């Protein structure tokens, strides 16, 4: 592989303009195809085979109006009641305006006899239904509703919205997050490289890969469900990974130039060494993220595909576009110096990080034990992990969905936001028996201490399905509601329908969240096993040392566990929660641990590969495990720290986005990267490897013999500004 990458680097460096032109044309073509493909993003999720999914499918089949896209409306009189003549007239005018809007199929009158109103007459609920699928509507649909509601607001009626249509207008966007992440990365790169040109290259390469990745995600969206937050996660990962990959290649290229090699040869050398590590690390990240497909949950798999495509494009950019640009620049990569540069005074192993390794090796058991204790403390909160999904009550207080949620809670109780939909599938030809079952079911539900109310059963026109709505006493995130759901499924419904052939399924948002948590819990071990197996095979293939592969996998798991533990402490326990911009604690979103495992396992392998590649090169030369550690870490530690800092600031720059999922992913990724580098790679790794000694490298034979020195830290490279820019 080193030979192939060396040839690839030399070829692109010799024909830089052709390569760059091909990249520009490819990105333009991909963006054009992406726009023409009609691909988009969805907010409608499915859990195939789950009880809640069967309930939804049956209900929408036999009650077509239930499958319509809608906006739920809350009406609250700020003084008096909604029955006051001026307020009632304003409400009716607004309803009439709703019905005249494009694509609206119906708009319920909250003041009609069958409407839902609070006992004090101050609050009412209604719905606006649309005749088009959600994918064909835009944020303008909500904006028209909001504008029409102004007449009621002028009359003293507070009107708020929630549901699918309002969500279109509050889909999270990266906004300034990308700019903040790019700016922070540039600052760190400037400090590391001391050159504006060298610092700008990784960002340029990452943005090029990001553009291509975005186009591929759009194309993928035409053939599969890609969730609306997937592009944000993809941008987050693509930007961080792309900058990191390019950072290592540029570092190795500059070192080769410092050694006096012509620019084409320097590019080939960088690709054969750093490029080889980048290829393996990127492949591990992509494979780990694609492991999300094993969940069998379409929107989680779609998120994995979007992230994998974006990371793959940034990887291609680092391995093809970057060497072409380096070949075009040559020594001009060091142009536009910033600050004073320190002259290298000796081998990297004699520098600060080499001395740090000596200190760790001398007290290896103390450092290994201490780092494991710290990691264990970070992992402890993981054992109180509670999976769930934030609802409108966790939205920012100025969101209309949050105001609607609070209005419903105040007027009808918290359980009104956690309703359970019972769908009874009735056998043919047993109408009287079916009626008896439905009565027993309703009676048993009403006797449950957690049930606030139960609606009478409603039969479909074909009399094959009946619906009952159960309103709990607690909110959707309370454990009492989850316990009620399990009681209904395990005891209440089976007892009521015993021996009758009636099948009862429980759906609704709360049931969906519970089923999602159960599905994640069942399938996560298999995904973990698959990802670990793929990573182990790749590691063994690269280093030919099974023990090293096992060590790398265990260390990656420690990083992932620490990250999820910190998430629990922050979002469930509330430690430092206000720093994320959230008001209330929330359960950990069901898909987040699975996504974090896939992403973090892959990212932790990045640093493992970068550092072990350098350590192994020295070990293959000297067969001295301590010297290999000293030289390998001495030459890579500073670059890895810079790379981790870039990753962390990029991930944290997305935390201000309002979506709790993005906040959790951003915090989790940032913490994991910092823990992985500062504790696992710089302390635990040298301590464990020094304990293992030669045994660490025993396996199925020696790996390929590298022909170049390990990566050098960019900030200690000799200043070669005096070298003419046209030297080849």
Higher per-residue confidence, 713 vs 285: 285
Residue 573 confidence (pLDDT):
92
Q: How far apart are CA 585 and CA 276, in angstroms?
A: 44
Mean of per-residue pLDDT scores for the chain:
84
Task: Single out the residue of 682, 646, 681, 653 nearest to residue 667, CA to CA.
Answer: 653
Angle formed at CA 714 by CA 712 and CA 717, multiple of 5 degrees: 80
- Asked whether the predicted pLDDT for residue 136 surpasses 90, the reply is no
Residue 398 confidence (pLDDT):
86
C-alpha dihedral sign at 650, 651, 652, 655: positive
Angstrom distances, CA of residue 462 to CA of 429, 435, 717 = 12, 15, 79
pLDDT > 90 fraction of the chain, expressed in percent and rounded: 38
Query: Residue 76, SS3?
Result: strand
Q: What is the DSSP string of 579-638?
A: GGT-SS--PEETHHHHHHHHHHHHHHHHHHHHHHHHHHHHHHHH--HHHHHHHHHHHHHH
Residue 429 confidence (pLDDT):
58
Residue 723 confidence (pLDDT):
34
Instruction: Summarize pLDDT for 547-567 with one digit per residue, the tens.
Output: 767 777 788 788 888 989 999
Q: How confident is the model at residue 610 (pLDDT cuts 50, 70, 90)?
A: confident
* Of 1-5, 76-80, 460-464, highest mean pLDDT: 76-80
- Asked whether the predicted pLDDT for residue 526 surpasses 70, the reply is yes
Question: Measured in whole angstroms, how far is the alpha carbon of residue 252 from the centre of its chain?
Answer: 31
Higher per-residue confidence, 390 vs 112: 112
- The region that residue 163 occupies, defined by phi over 0 for left and psi between -120 and 50 for alpha, beta otherwise, is left
- Asked whether the predicted pLDDT for residue 492 surpasses 90, the reply is yes
Six-digit token pair at 564?
Answer: 């999820």
Higher per-residue confidence, 724 vs 36: 36
Q: In the Cβ-directed half-sphere of 483, how many Cα atoms lie within 13 Å? A: 9
Residue 26 confidence (pLDDT):
93
Question: Measured in whole angstroms, how far is the alpha carbon of residue 404 from the centre of its chain?
Answer: 27
Angstrom distances, CA of residue 509 to CA of 56, 276, 328, 390, 417 = 10, 47, 56, 11, 9
Residue 637 confidence (pLDDT):
87
Angle formed at CA 250 by CA 247 and CA 254, multiple of 5 degrees: 135
Mean pLDDT of 218-226: 85
Task: Single out the residue of 588, 596, 633 nearest to residue 350, CA to CA.
Answer: 633
- Asked whether the predicted pLDDT for residue 97 surpasses 80, the reply is yes
pLDDT > 70 fraction of the chain, expressed in percent and rounded: 91
Residue 726 confidence (pLDDT):
37
Residue 177 confidence (pLDDT):
63
Query: Residue 60, SS3?
Result: helix
- Asked whether the predicted pLDDT for residue 640 surpasses 70, the reply is yes
- Asked whether the predicted pLDDT for residue 712 surpasses 60, the reply is no
SS (H, E, C) 176-209: HHHHHHHHHHHHHHHHHHCEHHHHHHHHHHHHHH
Mean pLDDT of 282-310: 85
Six-digit token pair at 562?
Answer: 């620490």
Q: How confident is the model at residue 339 (pLDDT cuts 50, 70, 90)?
A: low
Six-digit token pair at 223?
Answer: 């053939």
Residue 346 confidence (pLDDT):
46
- Any residues with CB less than 8 A from the CB of 382 and at least 6 apart, and which? 561, 564, 565, 568
Q: How far apart are CA 142 and CA 128, in angstroms?
A: 11
Supply φ then ψ for residue 544, to 5 degrees.
55, 35
Residue 354 confidence (pLDDT):
83
Query: Residue 272, SS3?
Result: helix
Higher per-residue confidence, 334 vs 134: 334
Residue 102 confidence (pLDDT):
93
Q: How far apart are CA 693 and CA 696, in angstroms?
A: 6
- Any residues with CB less than 8 A from the CB of 344 and at least 6 apart, and which? 712, 716, 717, 718
Alpha-carbon dihedral angle through residues 478, 482, 487, 488, given to the nearest 10 degrees: 110
Contact between residue 202 and residue 240 where contact means Cβ atoms under 8 Å apart: no
Supply φ then ψ for residue 271, to 5 degrees.
-70, -35
C-alpha dihedral sign at 21, 23, 29, 31: negative
Six-digit token pair at 356?
Answer: 């740090």
DSSP run (H or E) holding 436: helix 431-447
Instruction: Summarize pLDDT for 695-708 with one digit per residue, the tens.
Output: 877 654 444 343 33
Mean pLDDT of 477-500: 91
Mean pLDDT of 504-515: 89
Q: How far apart are CA 590 and CA 593, in angstroms?
A: 7
Higher per-residue confidence, 187 vs 92: 92
Angstrom distances, CA of residue 501 to CA of 437, 438, 505 = 10, 12, 13
Query: Residue 587, SS3?
Result: coil
Q: How far apart are CA 627 and CA 651, in angstroms?
A: 35
Q: How far apart are CA 44 and CA 511, in angstroms?
A: 15
Instruction: Summarize pLDDT for 155-178 with one digit per residue, the tens.
Output: 999 999 998 899 888 766 555 666
Higher per-residue confidence, 722 vs 396: 396
Instruction: Summarize pLDDT for 410-424 with one digit per residue, the tens.
Output: 999 999 999 999 999
Residue 325 confidence (pLDDT):
94
Residue 64 confidence (pLDDT):
79
Mean pLDDT of 373-386: 92
Helix axes 591-622, 230-258, angle to 10 degrees: 10
Mean pLDDT of 304-315: 92
């Amino acid at each position: 592989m080193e030979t192939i990458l060396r040839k690839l680097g030399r070829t692109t460096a010799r024909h830089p303009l052709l390569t760059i032109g091909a990249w520009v044309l490819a990105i333009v073509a991909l963006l054009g195809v992406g726009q023409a493909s009609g691909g988009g993003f969805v907010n409608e999720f499915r859990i195939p085979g789950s009880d809640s999914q069967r309930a939804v499918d049956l209900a929408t089949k036999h009650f077509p109006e239930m499958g319509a896209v809608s906006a739920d409306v809350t009406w609250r009189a700020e003084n008096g009641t909604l029955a006051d003549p001026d307020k009632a007239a304003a409400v009716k005018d607004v309803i009439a305006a709703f019905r005249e809007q494009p694509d609206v199929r119906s708009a319920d009158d909250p003041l009609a006899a069958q409407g839902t109103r609070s006992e004090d007459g101050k609050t009412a609920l209604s719905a606006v239904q649309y005749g088009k699928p959600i994918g064909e509507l835009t944020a303008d649909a909500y904006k028209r509703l909001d504008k029409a509601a102004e007449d009621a607001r002028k009359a003293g009626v507070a009107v708020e919205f929630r549901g699918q249509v309002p969500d279109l207008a509050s889909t999270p966007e990266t906004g300034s997050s990308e700019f903040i992440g790019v700016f922070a990365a540039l600052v760190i790169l400037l400090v590391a490289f001391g050159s504006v040109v060298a610092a700008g290259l990784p960002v340029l390469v990452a943005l090029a890969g990001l553009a291509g990745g975005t186009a591929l995600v759009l194309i993928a969206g035409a053939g599969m469900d890609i969730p609306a937050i997937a592009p944000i996660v993809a941008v987050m990962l693509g930007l961080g990974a792309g900058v990191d990959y390019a950072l290592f290649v540029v570092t190795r290229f500059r070192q080769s130039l410092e050694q006096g090699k012509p620019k084409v040869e320097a590019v080939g050398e960088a690709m054969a060494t750093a490029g080889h590590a980048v290829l393996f690390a990127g492949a591990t990240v992509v494979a780990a993220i694609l492991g999300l497909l094993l969940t069998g949950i379409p929107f989680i798999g779609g998120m994995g595909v979007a992230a994998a495509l974006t990371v793959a494009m940034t990887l291609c950019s680092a391995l093809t576009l970057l060497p072409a640009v380096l070949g075009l620049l040559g020594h001009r990569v060091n142009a536009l110096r910033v600050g004073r540069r320190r002259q290298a005074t000796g081998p990297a192993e004699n520098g600060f990080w080499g001395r740090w390794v000596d200190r760790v090796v001398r007290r290896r058991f103390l450092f290994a034990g201490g780092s494991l204790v710290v990691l264990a403390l970070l992992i402890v909160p993981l054992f109180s992990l509670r999976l769930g999904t934030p609802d409108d009550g966790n939205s920012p207080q100025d969101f209309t969905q949050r105001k609607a949620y609070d209005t419903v809670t105040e007027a009808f109780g918290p359980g009104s936001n956690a309703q359970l939909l019972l769908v009874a599938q009735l056998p043919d030809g047993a109408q009287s028996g079916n009626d008896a079952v439905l009565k027993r079911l309703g009676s048993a539900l009403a006797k449950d201490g957690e049930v606030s109310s139960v609606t009478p059963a409603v039969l479909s026109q074909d009399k094959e399905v009946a619906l009952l709505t159960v309103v709990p006493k607690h909110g959707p995130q309370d454990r009492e509601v989850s316990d009620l759901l399990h009681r209904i499924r395990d005891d209440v419904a089976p007892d009521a329908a015993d021996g009758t052939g009636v099948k009862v399924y429980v759906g609704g948002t709360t049931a969906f969240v519970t089923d999602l948590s159960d599905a994640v819990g069942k399938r996560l071990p298999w995904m973990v096993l698959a990802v670990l197996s793929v990573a182990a095979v790749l590691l063994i293939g690269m280093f030919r040392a099974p023990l090293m592969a096992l060590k790398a996998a265990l260390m990656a798991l420690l990083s992932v566990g620490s990250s999820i533990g910190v998430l629990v402490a922050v979002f469930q326990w509330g430690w430092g929660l206000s720093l994320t911009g959230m008001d209330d604690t929330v359960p950990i979103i069901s898909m987040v641990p699975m996504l974090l495992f896939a992403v973090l396992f892959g990212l932790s392998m990045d640093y493992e590969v970068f550092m072990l590649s350098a350590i192994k090169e020295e070990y293959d030369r000297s067969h001295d495990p301590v010297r290999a550690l000293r030289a390998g870490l001495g030459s890579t530690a500073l670059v890895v720290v810079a790379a981790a800092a870039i990753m962390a600031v990029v991930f944290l720059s997305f935390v201000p986005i309002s979506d709790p999922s993005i906040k959790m992913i951003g915090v989790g990724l940032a913490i994991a990267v910092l823990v992985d580098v500062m504790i696992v790679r710089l302390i635990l790794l040298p301590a464990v490897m020094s304990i293992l000694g030669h045994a660490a490298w025993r396996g199925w034979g020696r790996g390929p013999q590298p022909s170049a020195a390990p990566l050098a830290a960019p900030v200690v490279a000799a200043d070669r500004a005096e070298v003419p820019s046209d030297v080849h």
